[in-house]
Amino acid sequence: MVESEDFKSKITVYVVVCWILAAFGGLMFGYDIGISGGVTAMDDFLIKFFPEVYKRKLHAREDNYCKYDNQILQLFTSSLYLAALFASFVASKVCTKFGRKPTILVASSFFLAGAGISSGALNIWMLIIGRILLGIGVGFGNEAVPLFLSEIAPVQHRGAVNILFQLFVTIGIFFANLVNYGTAKLHPHGWRVSLALAGVPAIFLFIGSIVITETPTSLIERGNEVAGHKALKKIRGVEDVNAEYEQIKLASDIARQVKHPFKELMKRSSMPPLIIGVLLQVFQQFTGINAIMFYAPVLFQTVGFKNDASLLSSVITGTVNVLSTLVSIYAVDKVGRRKLLLQACVQMFISQSTIGGMLLVHLKATSNTLTTTQAGFVVFLVCLFVMAFAWSWGPLGWLIPSETFPLETRTAGFAFAVSSNMFFTFLIAQAFLSMMCHMRAYIFFFFAGWILVMGLFALFLLPETKGVPIDVMVERVWKKHPVWKRFMDD
Ligand code: BGC
């Protein structure tokens, strides 16, 4: 058997251009995550579309925790993820049948249409239709981009290249926070500028989807073997790619025998990577990260910042998010996945429960807001939380599902991971403001409780996959794990 280490490759300018252009899909996802919180905190936006919420906001003193609770306002944020959830299943079929490149092209077209309609919205329904179009873009993009990146990355750099997707997600969120900080001062159409600027990365992705190569795996799997061989030579920058070509050919021959990957995925022996992939995504959302990513400005207003200061605070958390993701690119193949996940659980548990404790003591529903020092401390704790997430559950939620499935169930399994992410992102987006209204400071203990559970999960159920070649994952990881070996038939 040919070892992956024997594969020859150089990192060529072309392949780096391909990574970056494709990673703009992550930037689109991140921009959409980051933009809605700031927009829903803008008075001009609320007056136009949500006058009731605006009136409640004016009487904020009545109840610190409930001023933004509005199902339709939450529908604005969460509709995107519901659309993405359904779109990712369609996208997995398109990805298999037509390839990664056309799937990315479809994603960028939906992004462009969504940015146009939402920024030009004359009523709430146009606004929501725009979000749904963006959501379809996210469904297509998130299915195709991580797969694309993994497939064109040289095997020894697959982890780092995969985290490039998450890095671009964080850059997108940061960029959105920055845009909102600027546009909040543009009356009365600042929110339109925020929503329209989503078109900029969408254009890059659109151009990218024309420039990038199709992946050799997808070409070979669809029977275009000569084109696949040529594409492999081009992205590896060397003439002799036969060893890698043969392995892709073998893997796709096996994969082609599996006619119903989703059925295959339901077999007992497919359960370990499926359970791990889905739970990682579910837990990723139950850290409470998106309560902060979507609603940071709202949250910071809740603890007493004015509009401007709360947007600025979310720019700070955005910066922490990007920089800490760089740490994971550096550390993931050195200290391993499990240690990063476990360390982060401790840090996230401490920050969430301390925030909960502080708000419980100092922020009563109907009394004054926090003092400046107390509010500053909350921002500090939020940064500590975001930092831990960004070097662990954020990138690894995408990386681990991409490296633990055998090839025959890899795309179908990954579609499950993507859609679980979307479903639970939707749930948090839809429920967070109401939960904060009903649970008040206890919402932070709720997240802390989940962090405890996921820490135990990582400790007892998550195998270490650092440095294990994908092809021997079943033998070296699943069949040796004290719990998961029971699922592995001969
Ligand atoms: C998650 C998103 C989250 C982002 C924060 C991603 O890995 O899937 O839900 O908003 O990280 O950086």
Nearest residue (CA) to ligand 1, atom 11 = 394
| CB of 425 shorter than 6 A to ligand 1 | yes
Residue 283's closest CA among 394, 419, 387, 146?
394
Q: Which two tokens stand for residue 101?
A: 């490149």
Q: Is residue 346 predicted with pLDDT exceeding 50? A: yes
Ligand 1 atom with least separation from CA of 425: 9
Distance CA 445, CA 194 (A): 33
- 445 close to 352: Cβ distance less than 8 angstroms: yes
Which of 35, 143, 163, 166 has the most ligand 1 atoms within 8 A of CB, as the residue to mutate? Answer: 166
CA-only gyration radius of the chain, Å: 23
Mean pLDDT, rounded, for 442-470 = 92
Q: How far is the CA of 393 from the centre of ligand 1 (A)?
A: 9
- Number of Cβ within a 10 Å radius of residue 145: 28
Residue 121's closest CA among 133, 134, 130?
130
pLDDT tens digits, one per residue of 15-46: 999 999 999 999 999 999 889 878 988 899 99
Distance CA 151, CA 274 (A): 20
- 287 close to 447: Cβ distance less than 8 angstroms: yes
Residue type, position 255, single letter:
A
Q: How far is the CA of 289 from the centre of ligand 1 (A)?
A: 7
Q: How far is the CA of 336 from the centre of ligand 1 (A)?
A: 20
* Counts of helices then strands in the chain (DSSP H, E): 22, 0
Q: How far is the CA of 162 from the centre of ligand 1 (A)?
A: 14
- Number of Cβ within a 10 Å radius of residue 457: 17
Please report which confidence band the pLDDT of residue 68 belongs to, taking 50, 70 and 90 as the band edges: low
| CB of 421 shorter than 6 A to ligand 1 | yes
Query: Among the CATH numbers 1.20.200.10, 3.30.465.10, 1.10.420.10, 1.20.1250.20, which is that of 4-487?
Result: 1.20.1250.20
Ligand 1 atom with least separation from CA of 290: 10
Which of 27, 35, 166, 169 has the most ligand 1 atoms within 8 A of CB, as the residue to mutate? Answer: 169
Q: How far is the CA of 163 from the centre of ligand 1 (A)?
A: 12
> Tokens 């633990």 correspond to what residue?
404
- What per-residue confidence (pLDDT) applies to 34? 86
- What per-residue confidence (pLDDT) applies to 101? 96
Q: How far is the CA of 169 from the centre of ligand 1 (A)?
A: 7
Residue 81's closest CA among 428, 345, 406, 328?
428
pLDDT tens digits, one per residue of 291-343: 888 767 667 777 777 767 777 777 888 899 999 999 999 998 889 899 999 99
| CB of 166 shorter than 6 A to ligand 1 | yes
Q: Is residue 169 predicted with pLDDT exceeding 90? A: yes
| CB of 384 shorter than 6 A to ligand 1 | no
Mean pLDDT, rounded, for 446-457 = 97
User: Angle between the 13-40 and 71-98 helix axes, to the nearest 10 degrees?
Assistant: 160
Which of 293, 325, 420, 447 has the most ligand 1 atoms within 8 A of CB, as the residue to mutate? Answer: 293
Residue 167's closest CA among 13, 348, 332, 342?
332
Distance CA 444, CA 449 (A): 9
Nearest residue (CA) to ligand 1, atom 10 = 290
- 334 close to 168: Cβ distance less than 8 angstroms: no
Q: How far is the CA of 274 from the centre of ligand 1 (A)?
A: 20
Share of the chain above pLDDT 90, in %: 56
Distance CA 359, CA 299 (A): 12
Helix (H) or strand (E) holding 452: helix 442-460
- What per-residue confidence (pLDDT) applies to 2? 43
Residue 39's closest CA among 314, 247, 278, 232?
314
* Mean predicted lDDT score pLDDT of the chain: 88
Q: How far is the CA of 247 from the centre of ligand 1 (A)?
A: 33
Mean pLDDT, rounded, for 233-261 = 88
Q: Is residue 1 predicted with pLDDT exceeding 70? A: no
Mean pLDDT, rounded, for 74-89 = 88
| CB of 394 shorter than 6 A to ligand 1 | yes
Q: What is the pTM of this model?
A: 0.91
| CB of 289 shorter than 6 A to ligand 1 | yes
Mention every residue, 6+ apart, whose C-beta is less than 8 A from residue 267.
Answer: none
Ligand 1 atom with least separation from CA of 321: 12
| CB of 169 shorter than 6 A to ligand 1 | yes
- What per-residue confidence (pLDDT) applies to 261? 86
Share of the chain above pLDDT 70, in %: 94
| CB of 277 shorter than 6 A to ligand 1 | no
Residue type, position 228, single letter:
G
Nearest residue (CA) to ligand 1, atom 4 = 394
